[in-house]
Amino acid sequence: YRDNINIAIDGPAGAGKSTVARMVAGRLQYIYVDTGAMYRAVTWFMLNQGISAEDSEKVLQHAQNMVIELKPHENGQMVWLNGEDVTPYIRSQQVSAEVSKYARIEGLRTQLVHLQQQMALEKGVVMDGRDIGTTVLPDAEVKIFMTASVKERALRRFNELSDEGITLEQLEKDIAERDRLDQEREVSPLRCAEDAIILDTTHMDINQVVEAILSYCKT
């Protein structure tokens, strides 16, 4: 495999980005950066403080002083916000439902993109999100745009939930709505970079996807 390259993985919710990115990073002994976790941590904080996404000025005021840290962990990654481990809170249904509303605030994106770019300066990074290949790491050596049908993505999410009491139909609606908000926002929307490799994983299992990506990282 090529030494010290950056790998950008983008795509819609439930496509398998984080699972696969983490495994690819493990195989290459690279650092994995889950940018969605950063947007989720900010969203959790704002909801907790009662700060609405409509009030972007207030969001930015609070975001300015925020300290976000990503720490590697055996099952993925831990997110710390202002010295507190917020990992257990950021995948809740409420955060999932609200995150895209905060993620369209321009100043917040500027701040998080900057932080993400700092994390990738040394190279040897696998980063997943929505705008990695287009905005965060436009020079990444390997860019993957990972998709799957919305039905399959909803099913994948459904299978990992235990008892949050949400139906498959509702999950499919929520995911489709989040895709829409992410694709239609003005600032760095979810879209495939011109030089990205498109990987439709609807009929692929996790290992096949990992091997496919690794095959693009060969010298």
Q: Name 51's Cβ contacts closer than 8 Å, sequence gap at least 6.
A: 58, 59, 62
User: Can you tell me which residue has the tokens 């050596």?
Assistant: 141
From candidates 8, 23, 77, 130, binder to ligand CDP by CB under 6 A: 130
Which lies closer to ligand CDP via its Cβ, residue 39 or residue 44? 39
- Spatial contact of 158 and 150, defined as CB atoms under 8 Å apart: no
From candidates 5, 6, 8, 18, binder to ligand CDP by CB under 6 A: 18
Count of residues that interact with ligand CDP, criterion CB under 6 A: 28
Which lies closer to ligand CDP via its Cβ, residue 143 or residue 178? 178
User: Can you tell me which residue has the tokens 């995948």?
Assistant: 91
d(CA 17, CA 25): 12
Alpha-carbon dihedral 196, 146, 113, 119, rounded to 10 degrees = -90
Residue 143 as a binder of ligand CDP (CB under 6 A): the answer is no
Q: Restricting to residues 172-201, name those near ligand CDP by CB under 6 A.
A: 178, 182, 201
- Asked if residue 138 belongs to a known ligand binding site, the reply is no
- Spatial contact of 34 and 16, defined as CB atoms under 8 Å apart: no
Q: How far is the CB of 37 from ligand CDP (least distance, A)?
A: 6
Applying CB under 6 A, the residues found at the interface with ligand CDP are 11, 13-19, 35-36, 39-40, 99-100, 103, 129-131, 156-157, 160, 178, 182, 201, 204-206, 209
- Binding site feature residues for ATP: 11-19
